[in-house]
Structure 1
Amino acid sequence: MNNSIFSKGLKLFFLFLVCLPGHAQEQALLPEKPKWEFHGNMQLNNNGISPVPAFSLGRPALMNTFYIKKGNFTFSPEYNFSLDARPWVLNQWVRYRIDQNKTYYGLGANFSQFYSRTDSEINGKKHVEQTMDRYMAFEALVGSQVSEKMGVRLVYWFSTALDPSGVSSGHFVMASLPLGPFGSPQKIHARITPNLFYINNTIPFKGLFTSAIGSVHSGKFPVSLFGQVVQPFKPDDVSKFNWNLGLNYTF
């Protein structure tokens, strides 16, 4: 009786040893669990620009963006301020992106707060008033890396105000052509992204614009020089040529 139990136990033990390598190999072939990733950038410029002219700051700004990523999901809060530490735009983007070879697709949603300011003088003292409007925005995008130094991207945003004083709704479409790097990635190199975008909202305001964002980098040094220009196809008192320059720190 004892010999029978011992024999069965020995057979099970050897069966376990035979199956163990196969199980270990199967575990090794399983895809790795996605890891948390964190990075961001801080940007100091001479003129806070928004794609929608009515939302531009029009004065020096500090713009901070953070990226917290796991798998296909990314949470990217953006905290933008004037240099006197007053809030300008606060965004909380949640995005989902699918990569297929050189093409990618994405959807996103954003809760934001926009702070408009009025500067005045009362009894010889500077006085600043701020009002805040809350918005929800939704994003759809598609893009592709055409070659080593050229990509294409198409983005659509729909925004809606959560407060009666805000711009009740708006549409934004932008086509971009990221180019670069030009030069030596280990030394001095540059990138530039021409854009063409259309705005239609209930201010009411609508218009077609062209813009370009360029940057100059030195190897892997985390600080780069950047510049941006925006030009409407039909300039007027509301929308006209705009530009900025600044420093960008990535981490």
Structure 2
Amino acid sequence: MKKLTLLICILFSFNNAFSQTTDSTQTQSFLRGQITATNNGVSLIPSFSLGKPAVLFDLNIGKGRLSFDPMIRFGMNGKPWTFVFWWRYKLIQQKKFTLSLGAHPSVVFRDISVVENGIQRNFLAAQRYFAWEVSPTYLINKNTSLSLYYLGSKGLTKDIVQNTTFLAARAAINNIKITKVLSFSAIPQVYYLKMDNKDGIYANMTLNLYKKNFPVSLNAIASKAIKTEIVGKDFLWSIGLVYNINNKYKKLR
């Protein structure tokens, strides 16, 4: 935590050095989000994946540089999967470069079986975590960006993974034309994951197929372990149907 505090202090110094004149977009409120129905709940951290059909609610609510980004996931059977409550702040926001900081409490739900007096009982256990992130992004052009992503996590009870480190290098390529009306975006990434004393290297690809000014899109995710000691499936994939929400609000004077 001392290293994290020092990093935040340094980043605030950079923010003062790179500060720009605030424009009208800095005070604009927004509500964005996605509701996704998928055949297979895949998580950013493979061992947290559901492995069953799921419904994902991802919201992005804020004003200016600050946003609240809850991520609520359920299995198709109605059981909760994960609740993540992100708070994010764009420390540096320039035309070509942004730097975002974030933190969240989260709950991961797991089915647990316990045998009592020869009788097996099933319980839904809630595993609690606290996490933080740093994400610098450089915009190459209006459709292409490169970014690094760091995520650290701490388990809040002794019976779960205590320390997690996630470090990724990713690209985002948007608005790749297929036809006059259809386009797709691609987000490839390679990442290093360490959970307590075990680690691994993974590759991941996210594809989105969409039509301009149409709220429904298709999403596909594939994740492959390159080399890992962490228990879990070496290959994960999912296909989802996405409903997109995108609204902005200006204060009337």
For 1:142 and 1:186, locate their aligned partners in 2 and report how far apart those are by CA, in whole Å.
Answer: 33
1:132 Cα shift? 0.8
Find the counterpart in structure 2 of residue 108 from structure 1: 102
Helix, strand or coil: the match of 2:139?
strand
Is the Cα–Cα contact under 8 Å of residues 129 and 156 in structure 2 kept in the other structure? yes
Find the counterpart in structure 1 of residue 88 from structure 2: 95
Find the counterpart in structure 1 of residue 16 from structure 2: none
Helix, strand or coil: the match of 2:227?
coil
Distance 1:233 1:218, change over 3 A: same
Alignment match of 1:74 (pick from 67, 76, 84): 67
Find the counterpart in structure 2 of residue 161 from structure 1: 155
Is the Cα–Cα contact under 8 Å of residues 186 and 220 in structure 1 kept in the other structure? no
1:188 aligned partner, one-letter code: L
Helix, strand or coil: the match of 1:234?
strand
For 2:187 and 2:169, locate their aligned partners in 1 and report how far apart those are by CA, in whole Å.
Answer: 10
Find the counterpart in structure 1 of residue 29 from structure 2: 36
Is the Cα–Cα contact under 8 Å of residues 153 and 163 in structure 2 kept in the other structure? yes
Distance 1:55 1:118, change over 3 A: same
1:180 Cα shift? 2.0
Find the counterpart in structure 2 of residue 55 from structure 1: 48
Distance 1:30 1:81, change over 3 A: closer
1:184 Cα shift? 6.7
Size of the aligned set, in residue pairs, is: 217
Find the counterpart in structure 1 of residue 220 from structure 2: 227
Matches within 5 A, 1:195-206: 195-202=189-196, 204-206=197-199
Find the counterpart in structure 1 of residue 210 from structure 2: 217
Find the counterpart in structure 1 of residue 79 from structure 2: 86
Give yes or no for the alignment of 1:243 onto 2:234: no
Is the Cα–Cα contact under 8 Å of residues 201 and 228 in structure 2 kept in the other structure? no
Listed as ranges, the gaps of 5+ residues in structure 1 are 1-28, 121-125
1:30 Cα shift? 8.9
Rg larger in structure: 1
For 2:22 and 2:97, locate their aligned partners in 1 and report how far apart those are by CA, in whole Å.
Answer: 24
1:119 Cα shift? 7.3
1:113 aligned partner, one-letter code: V
TM-score by length of 1: 0.80
Distance 1:184 1:242, change over 3 A: closer
CA root-mean-square deviation? 2.3
Is the Cα–Cα contact under 8 Å of residues 204 and 223 in structure 2 kept in the other structure? yes
Is the Cα–Cα contact under 8 Å of residues 154 and 174 in structure 1 kept in the other structure? yes
Is the Cα–Cα contact under 8 Å of residues 186 and 218 in structure 1 kept in the other structure? no
Which of the pair has the greater relative contact order for Cα pairs under 8 Å at 6+ separation?
A: 2
1:217 aligned partner, one-letter code: Y
Distance 1:165 1:221, change over 3 A: same
Matches within 5 A, 1:177-188: 177-183=171-177, 187-188=181-182
Give yes or no for the alignment of 1:174 onto 2:174: no
1:176-217 deviation line (CA, Å, top 9, x unaligned): 110121117961001111010110011x43100001000111
Find the counterpart in structure 2 of residue 190 from structure 1: 184
TM-score by length of 2: 0.80
Is the Cα–Cα contact under 8 Å of residues 186 and 219 in structure 1 kept in the other structure? no
1:129 Cα shift? 2.4
Runs of 4+ in 1 over 3 A off after TM superposition: 29-33
1:113-164 deviation line (CA, Å, top 9, x unaligned): 01112479xxxxx975211111100100100111233110111011001112
